[in-house]
Structure 1
């Protein structure tokens, strides 16, 4: 149902419809809508390399049985994902329509041809900052696969809340992912947001940051890796970028 002029690759559109159909079969009329978020919504999708991020909304909280059924339906659909994999999160409408404070999801399920299957049904056990960012993207840029426009369903996220979420994501990268393309590109996007209040794609953030960071080679290497090319990231250089961006976020 994407109709706002943004160009989406047909195979991505078809997969979104497949996920929405699976959700409709599982939830029936309780499904409010399903939405592209992440790189597809922000214009940074790289065929063959990016994930497909989908957020969905139910009218009410799900039972344990419904949560398991939704997760199973998404994991089953993920086998046909045309990307590396799908990252899926479902919220109830009351939560989606309120400013976020944590993960607060009903279901989180990931899987695909090149992504390990992971199902999370306990939001309290997951880091909340990723979901704060996703809900901000949903409100500002989400594309409806089914249901009403995303900005009518997802509340916007206050700037201070987003800055805190991004700060926590920098700490998480430094502790867990370190010298990866995701660390670099998330840092670039966060830095741009801190300076210009623009929540764009990771690749747009990299282009913006490249002219402002003295070590452009680190950013170039991350972009090359994002595009499936060969490159090497230096751990100390990545940590320096993460540390500098964290300071700016504060």
Structure 2
């Protein structure tokens, strides 16, 4: 079995002691069943911003763990029992059999959200949650996940089918269009990331994606510039963006995702 030690310099300095402790506590609870602990999200894509970003972690175990073990793991990692220095920790546990196959389902064993700026959540039932977040996160993990312990992400997490990822993007844009529970800058930058995935098949950091979209779409440049500037501030100091402009941009993003999905179903180039 391949074991890859984490490169400490691949993790932001502000998170290193915390993520070492996350790995330690996860190993203590899961024991020999632990396969991998993988950083995803902004850490994986190289755009973590302290005071703004969550810390996203994917855990893979070799068998579905008992409910009691999963509850114990959640308790061991929940803020403030383990103080989270980031805005929050979003940790998802999968069993190896599920993670190794492409899927459009949520499929998790445990979904834990905790931290100083993140509403708490402990779910052991994937039917409780929309699947699209998990599909997107597994795609990011497969492409860019940074191993903190165990086997590399590409060995243990399958890339979901592109059609499933596009469907997940469309669902995420719908949620961001509604706006509830999401900062405006994050809604806009996630939209940029969706457009870049449609055009390149690769995941980019939010700010890099916004720069690329702004360069190609002059009409949205002022909004995207404002969103990046807001994103560079702490979460509690995010600026207000014009609601009408945000909605118009996300409507355009939704159309881009739909056009990409339709063209790939019919075998035509977008716009053809």
Q: Please state which band the TM-score falls in when normalised by the shorter chain.
A: over 0.9
What per-residue deviation string (whole Å, max 9, x for no partner) do you get for residues 88-118 of structure 1?
A: 1110001110102211100011111222222
Aligned-residue RMSD, C-alpha: 1.8
Alpha-carbon distance in 2 for matches of 1:57, 1:147:
9
Secondary structure in structure 2 of the residue aligned to 1:203: helix
Alpha-carbon distance in 2 for matches of 1:221, 1:237:
11
Alpha-carbon distance in 1 for matches of 2:246, 2:82:
33
**1:84 pairs with 2:77:** no
Which one of the candidate residues 27, 31, 44 is aligned to 2:30?
A: 27
**1:238 pairs with 2:246:** yes
Structure 1 match to 2:198: 194
Query: TM-score scaled by structure 1?
Result: 0.93
Q: Which moved more, 1:226-235 or 1:138-147?
A: 226-235
Alpha-carbon distance in 1 for matches of 2:97, 2:87:
31
Alpha-carbon distance in 2 for matches of 1:62, 1:195:
39
Query: TM-score scaled by structure 2?
Result: 0.86
Is the contact made by 1:179 and 1:233 (CA closer than 8 Å) also made in structure 2? no
| Unaligned 5+ runs, structure 2 | 259-272
Residue 246 of structure 1, CA deviation: 0.8
Structure 1 match to 2:226: 221
Alpha-carbon distance in 1 for matches of 2:89, 2:220:
32
Residue 48 of structure 1, CA deviation: 1.9
| Unaligned 5+ runs, structure 1 | none
Structure 2 match to 1:49: 52
Alpha-carbon distance in 2 for matches of 1:77, 1:31:
24
What per-residue deviation string (whole Å, max 9, x for no partner) do you get for residues 4-60 of structure 1?
A: x96422231221111111111111111111010000000111122111111001111
Alpha-carbon distance in 2 for matches of 1:52, 1:77:
15
Alpha-carbon distance in 2 for matches of 1:13, 1:6:
9
Alpha-carbon distance in 1 for matches of 2:136, 2:85:
24
What per-residue deviation string (whole Å, max 9, x for no partner) do you get for residues 112-154 of structure 1?
A: 1222222111111101000000001111110111001111010
Is the contact made by 1:18 and 1:77 (CA closer than 8 Å) also made in structure 2? no
Secondary structure in structure 1 of the residue aligned to 2:240: coil
Alpha-carbon distance in 2 for matches of 1:56, 1:7:
18
Q: Summarize the Cα distance change of 1:78–1:13 in structure 2 as closer, same or farther, 3 Å threshold.
A: farther
Which one of the candidate residues 141, 146, 156 is aligned to 1:143?
A: 146
Secondary structure in structure 2 of the residue aligned to 1:215: helix
Is the contact made by 2:188 and 2:227 (CA closer than 8 Å) also made in structure 1? yes
Secondary structure in structure 2 of the residue aligned to 1:116: coil
Q: Which moved more, 1:208-217 or 1:82-91?
A: 208-217
Q: Which moved more, 1:77-86 or 1:46-55?
A: 77-86
Residue 76 of structure 1, CA deviation: 4.5
Structure 2 match to 1:208: 212
Is the contact made by 1:135 and 1:156 (CA closer than 8 Å) also made in structure 2? yes
What per-residue deviation string (whole Å, max 9, x for no partner) do you get for residues 210-244 of structure 1?
A: 11231212112221221116532111111111111
Q: Summarize the Cα distance change of 1:58–1:127 in structure 2 as closer, same or farther, 3 Å threshold.
A: same
